[in-house]
Amino acid sequence: MPVNILTLEDGVTRLSIAPEIGGSIVNWSVLASGRPLLRASNDDALAACTPRRLACYPLAPWSNRIGNGGFDTPDGWLALPPNSANDPLPIHGSAWQQAWTVVEQTPWQVCLQLDSLIPFAYRAELRYTLHDGPLSIE
């Protein structure tokens, strides 16, 4: 199945994003030279449909590993199952494992949104903006 790739340009750089693959950056490169500014992703990486093979992906609603597989909340212990075959603990949240929705796009900016129920209900918003070369990720 072909993956929808969004492309942003600001006259200096080009940014390719895959909302369906965890809102990931596929490539970010200099227009004049084609030189990658992040790890370059090829067709094989894109075909694998995993953010871990792409240039960059969002870590939400947490980053890194959750020790002991969960944490205390006012309602008691919240157990989080492992979410990666490579790690016995939950790692990097769940946002990178879900498709994001495009809510706004211009030639140099895109806003993505994720309404998730995994592992609990949350909404995440991700905005990629190019501005005469620099990339802002909010």
| pLDDT tens per residue across span 31-87 | 999 999 999 998 888 889 999 899 999 999 999 999 999 999 999 999 999 998 889
pLDDT band, very low/low/confident/very high, at 2 (cuts 50, 70, 90): confident
> Could you tell me what percent of the chain has a pLDDT over 70?
99
98 in Cβ contact with 58 (< 8 Å):
no
Please state the φ and ψ torsions of residue 95, each to the nearest 5 degrees: -60, -35
Beta bridge partners of 125: 113
Could you give the C-alpha distances from 23 to 51, 73, 115, 131, 136, in angstroms and in order?
Answer: 8, 28, 13, 20, 15
The per-residue pLDDT for 1 is 62
Q: Residue 99: pLDDT above 90?
A: yes
